[in-house]
Amino acid sequence: MAVGKVKESLNEPNRYLVPDSFERFLADLKGVARQERHPLINPKLFASALSIDIQTLASQAHVHRTTISRAQGAEKLQRYLRDALRVLGAAADINGDFHDALFWFRNEPLSAFDYKTPEQLVSEGRADDLLRYVQALQAGVVG
């Protein structure tokens, strides 16, 4: 999807077609950042890719919902988005399918973490713990 089309789809989140690869998703995020002339992860594009609304994203990032549109550069919001991208990237590396990684991130309860989803863990600030878990999975240690 061209950057212009990505930018247009931000106004209509259901129009954004999530790419098949994490690398393409990052390219879309970079393209929007370049177009907006801000080195920020666009929270609306991120929310659209995960099929969540702005209120849900704000809740996960522990920011007010108006922060999503009025203060996209807020450190708390950007930290949550960066951590989520780190985890999604690691998950996509393991199974090779970005759509599966998105599903895993949003929905899969992990027994090692009291059956919380990766999305919940990142929201709790436990991205590093989750990354260690993913790396252990990749090494074949956890199972």
Terminal CA-to-CA distance of the chain, rounded, Å? 37
Which domain does 64 fall in, by range? 22-142
Are 136 and 92 in contact by the 8 Å Cβ rule? The answer is no
Q: Which residue has the tokens 């061209």?
A: 2
Establish if 44 belongs to a structural domain: yes
Please report the pLDDT score of residue 141 as a whole number.
60
Contact 63, 101 (CB under 8 A): no
**C-alpha span between 8 and 103 (Å, rounded):** 25
Write the DSSP symbol of residue 63. S
Task: Tell me, yes or no, whether 15 lies in a domain.
Answer: no
Asked whether residue 30 is domain-assigned, the answer is: yes
The answer to whether residue 43 is domain-embedded is: yes
DSSP H helices, the chain, are 3-11, 22-36, 43-49, 54-61, 65-70, 75-95, 98-107, 118-123, 127-139
Q: What is the pLDDT along the chain (143 residues), one digit of tens a residue?
A: 455 555 555 555 567 889 989 999 999 999 999 998 889 999 999 999 999 999 999 999 999 999 998 998 899 999 999 999 999 999 999 888 899 999 999 999 999 999 999 999 999 999 999 999 999 988 876 55
Tell me the whole-structure pTM to 2 decimals. Answer: 0.85
Residue 54 lies inside a defined structural domain of this protein: yes
Query: What is the number of structural domains in the chain?
Result: 1
Q: Is residue 13 part of a domain?
A: no
Domain annotation covers residue 8: no
